[in-house]
Amino acid sequence: MKKTLVALAALAATASFAQSSVSISGIIDANYQSLDYFGQKINQVGQSGARTTTFKFNGTEDLGGGQSANFQFEVQPSLIAGDGNASVLGGNTKAGTNASAVAVPNGSGLVGKGQSFASFKDNAYGEVKAGTINTGTFNTFALASQMGTGIGSGYDSGGVIPNITRLESAASYETPTINGFSGSVTKGFGNDNKFGTTTTTYDVRNTVVDYSVAYANGPLSARYGNRNEQKFSTGVITTTRLLAGAYDAGVAKVSLATGAQKTDDTKTDASISIMSVSVPFMGSYRFLAQQGQVKYTKGAGNGVDGSKNKIVGWGFEKDLSKRTYVYFRSENATIGATDLTAVITNGAALTKADGNNKRTATAIGISHSF
């Protein structure tokens, strides 16, 4: 009897010591889009116009002493494709051989597309993560963009702002926040094949080292991100640097970013700039505006120095509740620094209109978080 009571007491003590929980959260975002891709007009139902449609499964276990074990599994499903996989703005628009500006990003991107990891956290010393991890350079962009990564932001849509979102097969360390300062270091481990198939054109991971430092105090936030990516097949290194700041004055939130991207083999140099503003009005409304560009000072994609990819976006949002809002968004992009030779839309090859390097998009949608 005494042994039984001792065992029960030990079990109760363990249960109170190691508290664990699992939660589900996410975003559902759907819209109606009217698109003009380089002279090719498309009307369709789309998604993620304002925020990325996402399901997140998070778990944590309190290990005591300010320590915890955690995990996240993030799914970014399609609302509009029967196979449930992630879709691309523009009706599964893909690019021709030289049309990298509208190419569909490669990567695993199947059931678990998104940031997913396991981690160990110590409140005093920071957190170590392993998995597929968002980079500090991407978080720098997110600070600068009042339009997120949706329509109007120019992020990874038409070659305006390059894709620097996350790294597969990665590990990271994030410092605790001390007097408003924090930092992160992330390493993406490269390999020259994936799922047993060696290739130089798809499904490959380059080696990446990304680090960032950040500061936040009241209405002021600032962040610097640096990303070095070495291509597995050639050893060529591309470096992306981005510095962003944001100030929330109550009547408006303004953010700016400046940066550069350099590739060492072709001596390609490009400057990156972003300006963004969000203005609340009439209680439940917001006006958003953003401009971003990548300007090549050397070695542009079309061989002309001074060419650039530029986007101007704007929109309105109206809150229906604390978790739901409706929105209108519009963007106008000029792709002047990339060789666009052909575009494949919904499986059909269509030749781009001669001299047309314009891309526009408008959307009306609803976004709900849970």
Reduced to 3 states, what is the DSSP secondary structure of residue 370? coil
Q: Which residues pair with 186 in a beta bridge?
A: 172, 210
Whether 162 is in a domain gets the answer yes
pLDDT at 12 over 50: no
Residue 346 to residue 128: CA distance in whole angstroms: 41
Q: How far apart are the first and last CA of the chain?
A: 48
Distance of CA 262 to the CA centre of its chain: 20
pLDDT at residue 82, as a whole number: 60
Range of the domain at 335: 21-369
Whether 15 is in a domain gets the answer no
One-letter amino acid for residue 192 of the chain:
D
Q: Tens digit of pLDDT for each residue in 176-229?
A: 999 999 999 999 998 655 444 444 444 568 899 999 999 999 999 999 999 999
CB contact at 8 A, 348 and 5: no
Q: Tens digit of pLDDT for each residue in 255-276?
A: 999 999 998 876 678 899 999 9
CATH number for the domain harbouring residue 88:
2.40.160.10
Q: Tens digit of pLDDT for each residue in 216-250?
A: 999 999 999 999 999 877 888 999 999 999 999 99
Whether 13 is in a domain gets the answer no
Residue 155 to residue 153: CA distance in whole angstroms: 5
| Count of structural domains within the chain | 1
pLDDT at residue 54, as a whole number: 95
Q: Tell whether pTM > 0.85.
A: no
Which conformational region is residue 365 in: left (phi greater than 0), alpha (psi within -120 to 50 degrees), or beta? beta
Whether 6 is in a domain gets the answer no
Whether 273 is in a domain gets the answer yes
> What are the E-state strand segments in 190-323?
193-194, 197-198, 207-217, 220-230, 237-248, 253-263, 268-281, 285-298, 308-319
Whether 10 is in a domain gets the answer no
Residue 198 to residue 131: CA distance in whole angstroms: 22
Whether 5 is in a domain gets the answer no
Share of the chain above pLDDT 70, in %: 74
Residue 16 to residue 6: CA distance in whole angstroms: 15
pLDDT at residue 28, as a whole number: 97
- How many C-beta neighbours within 10 Å does residue 349 have? 10
Whether 56 is in a domain gets the answer yes
Q: Tens digit of pLDDT for each residue in 42-99?
A: 899 999 999 999 999 999 999 999 999 999 999 998 888 765 443 333 333 333 333 3
